[in-house]
Every structure is written in structure tokens, then in C-alpha cells.
Amino acid sequence: MKHLKTALTHYPVADSIKNRWSPRSFSGEPITNDNLNTILEAATWSFSAINEQPWRYVAAQKGTPLFDQLFDTLAAGNKPWNKQASAFVVSLAKTTFADGITPNGSAQHDVGAANMLLTLQANSMDIYTHLMGGFDRAKVAALLQLEADIVPVVIIALGYADEAEKLEEPFKTRELTPRIRKPLSEIIRQTAHSKN
């Protein structure tokens, strides 16, 4: 049985948001090509500054040489629990506009937004994501032969969630620890509410 970590919210936040979380225990069950493509297409329907769509993706299913090469780029703390991931999606940002020179200051923002849509689509198919910044960016850039204006943002582990008990420590404890958030009072600097 997969572990659920539904957010305990004060206001009635949508279930799709409350139920998203970043597990580390994956079953290893493969994700089909069609499901992977559905998840990637969902990302492309994000908003982006002047509809530039600066997101680029590289996907590798478990059992392929590219999956193993990407696994090797992960930080030590990300390796133990990724052995059971079903796929990696490398999220890349094109940091310039079409002329290849003018910087796109919104690129990282827009890629993050696309990654969230990717995640919500995956969740709707019972597939979970765990984003990772802990990987060797230079190694990934070399491995994928990235152009100078294409930068790695995160590697996204995808898979079907499994039991926390299957993880070794400290990941098992992290899997079971409730999700917490800063209170609204800490992150909202100012609100001008109307009377109603």
C-alpha cells in the first residue's frame, strides 16, 4: 500500500494540490510510453512569458542506458531511493529567446510552472514525481550535449508510490514525517481584502 501525505489545509484547497507530494518509495512498475508522453504533453500546456515555452525535456525509462547514466549524475543522497524509480525526466530551460542571444528572465519560472503541470497530470494517473536539484549539472550538460543556452533545472523521478517500509533510513522516516508549511501569516506580506 502506498503511503499518502495529504496536506492538512486551513482553507478548502483543491484535492489535486493537497494530494501531491514527493515520495521516495517507488514500486518500480514501468510507466508506459503513452503515459509518459501524456505527462510530458501536460507540461507544455503551462503558461509562459510571451508564450515562449522555454521548457525542454529529456525522458529516460528504467532499463535504458540513459536512465543509468542519469542515475550516475545524482547526488549521493538521491541514489538509494532512486533505484526503484520508473523513469527520469530531465527538465531543461532555454535561457534565451528565439534569437539565441536575448536572455529570457522568465525561463526558470516558466519551467517550474510546467513541471508542476507535469506533476499534477502524473498524479491524476496515480504516478508520483520527486523533483531533484541534487545532481551534477556539468555531467548532465555533457551527457546530453546541451547548447550553451540550455541549462538543466531539475531531474524528475517518476514512479508509482509504494510502502514507506521498503525504504532504508533516513528515507523511511522522511517518508512518514507529515508535510509542513509556513503559515499564511508568515508568507503573505500584505493583503487588501474587500469587505465581503
Answer whether 88's CB lies under 8 Å from 70's CB: yes
Of the candidate residues 97, 134, 141, 149, the single one contacting ligand FMN (CB under 6 A): 134
118 belongs to the binding site for ligand FMN (CB under 6 A):
no
Smallest gap from Cβ 50 to ligand FMN, in A, equals 24
Alpha-carbon radius of gyration of the chain:
18
Cell of 77: 543522497
Tell me the residue nearest to ligand FMN as measured from the CB: 134
**CB-based contacts of 52: which residues, under 8 Å, 6+ apart?**
94, 97, 98, 104, 106, 107, 110
Of the candidate residues 132, 140, 146, 161, the single one contacting ligand FMN (CB under 6 A): 132
Per-residue buried b or exposed e for 114-124, using 16+ beta carbons within 10 Å of the residue's own CB: bbbbbbbbbbe
121 belongs to the binding site for ligand FMN (CB under 6 A):
no
Residues 69-98 that bind ligand FMN (CB under 6 A): 78
22 belongs to the binding site for ligand FMN (CB under 6 A):
yes
Q: Which is nearer to ligand FMN, 33 or 79 (CB)?
A: 79
Smallest gap from Cβ 181 to ligand FMN, in A, equals 8
**Nearest alpha-carbon partner for 105 in 41, 42, 180, 52:** 52
167 belongs to the binding site for ligand FMN (CB under 6 A):
no
Q: Which is nearer to ligand FMN, 132 or 140 (CB)?
A: 132
